[in-house]
Amino acid sequence: MSGETVSCTSQVDIYMPLLNEGTAVIRPTKGLPLGGGQYKVLPSQGYAAALEEWQFPPGSIVACAFETHGGVEVLVARTRLS
């Protein structure tokens, strides 16, 4: 780590891939930007781990990529960093 601090505390919309759905599914949630393309995954309202399995659970630090889904460009969590 470089010791640099990130002043951005605004949450952004990110999309989380779901596991064991039978087809590719992403769901919206919030992420806290940490800088350098990294985000801390925050639970969405009503999050229930027993009802859906997120690829990266809340609290994970992830790298996201912009992807087009349904004609809209969204930020999708793709790699767990910690």
Tens of pLDDT, residue by residue, the chain (82 residues): 444 444 456 999 999 999 999 999 999 999 999 999 899 999 998 899 999 999 999 999 999 999 999 999 999 999 999 9
A 10 A CB-CB count for 66 gives 8
The pLDDT of residue 2: 42
- Six-digit token string for 12: 């952004």
Structure tokens at 82: 């910690």
The per-residue pLDDT for 46 is: 87
On whether the CB atoms of residues 29 and 39 are closer than 8 A, the answer is no
Residue 6: per-residue pLDDT = 47
Give this prediction's pTM.
Answer: 0.85
